[in-house]
Structure 1
Amino acid sequence: MNSFLSTSLQQSVADLYLNRNTCDDEVNILFEINADPKLPGGVLPFANVSRFSQFPEEEEILFMAGSIFHITDVISGNPFSTVKMELCSKEENDLKPLFETLRIEYGGEQVGKDKEASLNSFGIVLFNMERFEIADRFFRRIYYESSNDDPNRVRYAMNIGNVA
């Protein structure tokens, strides 16, 4: 995700995307998001931008990159499945224990005394899970977003080379 996740309050808008022709190996999924604007504790901003849009009838909601969602339900269906999610705060985020389990199981690096997940360590976990294409994207992203004087930049380049 670059900067924002674009969504719509109108399912008819989502249906337009769901009804596009897909390749045989692609699956259409509708994401239903419940987002409480009064949720306390470190929720990244989201907003209804309909009044600024060229297509206000779409009722577009933008979520800031880094927003965290909990999956509350998955409903398999035909022609598409539905994933129900809730926006959650940083305090409700239970991804750190999950990442730590993956890091131990698949050999990612430990980052700092807080064992905070970094993109690089997540890329290493993906690499060790043999998810090379996704790992490559993570490694390239952190390489290109890092400054030239970042002491870890060589490590990022090396990881790109390891995936190739």
Structure 2
Amino acid sequence: MALRTRTVDLLFLCRFFIRDISDRLTEKQCQHPVRVYRGQRMQIEERQRLQQSIGQLISVNSFLSTTLDRNVATQYLGDTKIQITDGDEEFVIFDIDADPKCRSKPFAIIEENSAIPEKQEVLFDAGSIFYLKSVHCEEQDDGYYPIWIMEMRLSNEEKHELPLSSFGLLLCNMKKYKFASKLF
């Protein structure tokens, strides 16, 4: 949650755990190309914003959990026959091609460490960057709501890690002096 909400104090407290997960992903780096999926509900405005970003790079600010099995990703959408209670949401499946030759951020199959191994989970490191290839709507059978498919591939963009002092200066600029003082 700290990564998604960018809560500075929580990020600072969790930095060792975040680093440990990243290190484990590097150790377990997938050795062959994979196609993975992620099912989720998304605000209509966010889907539209992504649709306007076709051909651009998309950065994910948290760890990204995906699966090798599209059916598992579809299960995370819930019942697509029932209208979403919040009319501002849509069903979305991310269809992602990832090649380990892209060394920008690690990703690994973690089913042996997962609470649900049959999920066939593949985890991408926080800050992974993807190239958005296409967005299209997949109509469903009678009575089912459409599912938006977002096709992406892991990008080979170089990672740019800030030294801790740069992070401290950033915190100062954000007027988070209490947290910045912990870094100097």
What TM-score, normalized to structure 2? 0.48
Q: Secondary structure at the match of 2:72?
A: helix
Equivalent of 1:151, from 165, 172, 177?
172
Show the counterpart of 2:8. none
Q: How does 1:32-51 map to 2 (within 5 A)?
A: 32-39=95-102, 42-51=103-112
Show the counterpart of 1:120. none
RMSD, aligned α-carbons: 3.0
Structure richer in strand, relative to its length: 2
Show the counterpart of 1:26. 89
Cα offset, 1:61, TM superposition: 0.4
Structure 1 unpaired stretches of 5+: 94-115, 117-145, 157-164
Cα offset, 1:150, TM superposition: 4.2
Q: Rate the CA distance shift 1:152–1:73 in 2: closer, same or farther, 3 A.
A: same
Q: How does 1:113-132 map to 2 (within 5 A)?
A: none
Q: Rate the CA distance shift 1:19–1:150 in 2: closer, same or farther, 3 A.
A: closer
Equivalent of 1:86, from 140, 144, 153?
153
Q: Secondary structure at the match of 1:44?
A: coil
Structure 2 unpaired stretches of 5+: 4-61, 140-145, 161-166, 178-184
The one-letter amino acid paired with 2:152 is: M
Structure richer in helix, relative to its length: 1
Q: Secondary structure at the match of 1:28?
A: strand
Task: Point out 4+ residue stretches in structure 1 off by more than 6 angstroms.
Answer: none
The one-letter amino acid paired with 2:96 is: I
> How many residue pairs end up in the alignment?
102
Highest RCO, 1 vs 2 (Cα 8 Å, sep ≥ 6): 2
What TM-score, normalized to structure 1? 0.53
The one-letter amino acid paired with 1:80 is: I
Equivalent of 1:54, from 115, 118, 128?
115
